[in-house]
Amino acid sequence: MSLLVTGSIGIDTVVSPFGRAEGVLGGSAVYFSYSASLFTPVRLVGVVGEDFPQAFRDKLIDRGFDLTGLETRAGSKTFRWQGSYEGAMNEATTLQTDLNVLGEAGPKIPTEFRDSRFVFLANTHPTLQRDLLGQLNGPEVVVCDTMNLWIDTERDSLMKTLSVVDGVVINDAEARSLSGQSNLVLAGRTILEWGPKFLVIKKGEHGSMLIMPDAVAVLPAFPTAEVCDPTGAGDSFAGGMMGYLASCGTLTAATLRSALARGTACASFAIEGFSLDGISRCQDGADVEARLADYRKVVQFD
Amino acid sequence: MSLLVTGSIGIDTVVSPFGRAEGVLGGSAVYFSYSASLFTPVRLVGVVGEDFPQAFRDKLIDRGFDLTGLETRAGSKTFRWQGSYEGAMNEATTLQTDLNVLGEAGPKIPTEFRDSRFVFLANTHPTLQRDLLGQLNGPEVVVCDTMNLWIDTERDSLMKTLSVVDGVVINDAEARSLSGQSNLVLAGRTILEWGPKFLVIKKGEHGSMLIMPDAVAVLPAFPTAEVCDPTGAGDSFAGGMMGYLASCGTLTAATLRSALARGTACASFAIEGFSLDGISRCQDGADVEARLADYRKVVQFD
């Protein structure tokens, strides 16, 4: 089933205890697409500047994304982010953000993409998320991300977006802040009252929680000693999850649980290398299933 | 198989968003025993003061513990702790600690208990832990807890204790501090090099991780909206784990994984009420298995 993603496409500089990656490919929509494309064809919608390197464009083409929705805006510069990780590496310290083209008008959904059935709206202004959604011909499943900035400053608009999506994927701090509930199960129940059919809470090294109206699923992260660069882990998770869901074509408690596991596996690959190096080692769904075989042993008990 | 526990027996005052419990039964050995006794008979070793209420003693008797090793020390007062929980309730704020009898000479292992095959040394000075161990006739499986105070101030003694135990159960902050490693898998591998056959890392609301020489297991906590009082959750976890292991009588990767799940279930009961009220609703192993049936659905995926 066709899967469309809108989000950032960026140039990152990342420092971690494992080294430094300067001017590398990044962005939420890119991380998402690398994982999602392991399961289903991906339609990538976003805007870059004139400075976006051809080598990065080639990478996106090589990975097989449909780039009809990738706009290269004349006179603009690509989004750039610099961050560092220390200690438990659970959270990035942002050293610099240059919004550049992301501070201008949003992307447009190409005509050819308007029939997309599964849609992921990566984090951006909630009004832009609804604007993008309005350009689509009634997709079946729409899932969005958001961030504390919008929870704090654009709450009314965000609530409108939440009322028109099927699912939400956010991290634990965002879930707490958005709901005003410290307990994550209560946070999830509160957010579901506002419209979504399901909420996924990303907990970094602690895994994820899926809250549905009448059930909760929790999966730990795949335990690894090789955490090189956590950048994009959450977007890789969302990509694996949505890619798997789109490949199933149905949104049920069972497919959501399975999708959560695929997201977990994809995120575990993503953090093993800088930029897209980790997830790039994963070439197809079989690689994901191989990791899931290891993962099943990790969570197994009698 | 006989299970002996040494640790604190205390009188707690706890404040949480759910209310206040004043002068209630607590202590690591008590929480441990309430869970462990769901699987196997428990021998409780500890010291209380003359002020220890008869009503508390009756509770311990009613729960069926062998109190031959419970010393009531004349002229001494029972250990008291006051703490409060806020927000995500992951960590207690200690308001007051009165060591009282815990600051005096440690307990003695009664002659009748020297043949104990499974032993849990709850947190206390690592030298006292070895002293207690020396009073036993070569138990089969010895597991200890510790705390940051000893990691920071009694490292040499703690290293000696680690070299003579089979397993260690500590929380994530302690594992990181003890090992000097931020990554929990690496922290676990480092600690195993010092002697133990396995390490269990308690992660509060995020569950637990079991690290063995050639395998890792990770289980999330049971997701619940009813977190009333997290006091003793870790000791309840350890009690469920050790009680189950002692009931199996063997220490294998498979029994450890199963024990981790029983510990998870016991901790989930313990936090549902103040003091021992939560775990007291659990009357036998069947109640634990019923919760595990729910838990299996939470972590299940295809």
Please give the pLDDT value at position A1.
78
Which residue in the set B205, B215, B261 is minimally distant from A301, CB to CB? B261
Nearest CB neighbour to A186, from listed B215, B225, B254 = B225
ipTM over 0.90: yes
What per-residue confidence (pLDDT) applies to B59? 97
Q: Which of B88, B218, B254 sits opposite A223 (nearest CB)?
A: B218
Query: Is the CB of B261 less than 8 angstroms away from the CB of A223?
Result: no
Write down the pLDDT at residue B168: 98
Closest CA to B33 of B70, B62, B4, B56: B4
Q: Does B101 touch chain A (CB under 8 A)?
A: no
Asked if the C-beta of A184 comes within 8 angstroms of chain B's C-beta atoms, the answer is yes
CB half-sphere exposure, A44, CA atoms < 13 A = 28
Q: Does A253 touch chain B (CB under 8 A)?
A: no
The residues, any chain, with a CB within 8 Å of residue A149's CB and separated by 6 or more, are: none
DSSP result, chain B = --EEEE---EEEEEEETTEEEEEEEE-HHHHHHHHHTTTS-EEEEEEEETT--HHHHHHHHHTT-EEEEEEEETT---EEEEEE--TT--S-EEEEEE-GGGGS------GGGTT-SEEEE-SS-HHHHHHHHHTSS--SEEEE---HHHHHH-HHHHHHHHTT-SEEEEEHHHHHHHHS-SSHHHHHHHHHTTS-SEEEEE-GGG-EEEEETTEEEEEPPPP-S-----TTHHHHHHHHHHHHHHHHT---HHHHHHHHHHHHHHHHHHTTSSTTHHHHT--SHHHHHHHHHHHHHHH---
**pLDDT of chain B, 302 residues: tens digit per residue:** 789 999 999 999 999 999 999 999 999 999 999 999 999 999 999 999 999 999 999 999 999 999 999 999 999 999 999 999 998 788 899 999 999 999 999 999 999 999 999 999 999 999 999 999 999 999 999 999 999 999 999 999 999 999 999 999 999 999 999 999 999 999 999 999 999 999 999 999 999 999 999 999 999 999 999 899 999 999 999 999 999 999 999 999 999 999 999 999 999 999 999 999 999 999 999 999 999 999 999 999 99
What pLDDT sits at residue A79?
98
pLDDT by residue for chain A (302 residues), tens only, comes to 789 999 999 999 999 999 999 999 999 999 999 999 999 999 999 999 999 999 999 999 999 999 999 999 999 999 999 999 998 788 899 999 999 999 999 999 999 999 999 999 999 999 999 999 999 999 999 999 999 999 999 999 999 999 999 999 999 999 999 999 999 999 999 999 999 999 999 999 999 999 999 999 999 999 999 899 999 999 999 999 999 999 999 999 999 999 999 999 999 999 999 999 999 999 999 999 999 999 999 999 99
Separation of alpha carbons A131 and A111, rounded Å:
15
Whether A257 has its CB under 8 Å from any CB of chain B: the answer is: yes
Question: pLDDT value at position A89?
Answer: 86
Model pLDDT, residue B90 = 81
A46 secondary structure, DSSP code: E
State the pLDDT at residue B48: 98
Using an 8 Å CB-CB cutoff, list chain B residues near A219: 220, 299, 301
CA dihedral B153, B157, B161, B163 (to 10 degrees): 110
- A233-256 pLDDT tens trace: 999 999 999 999 999 999 999 999
Measured between CB atoms, does A87 come within 8 Å of chain B? yes
Say what the pTM is.
0.95
Chain B residue closest in CA terms to A189:
B225
Say if B181 is an interface residue toward chain A (CB within 8 Å): no
In chain A, whose CA is at the least distance from the CA of B220? Answer: A220
| A133 has a chain B CB within 8 A of its CB | no
CA-based nearest distance B175→chain A, Å: 12
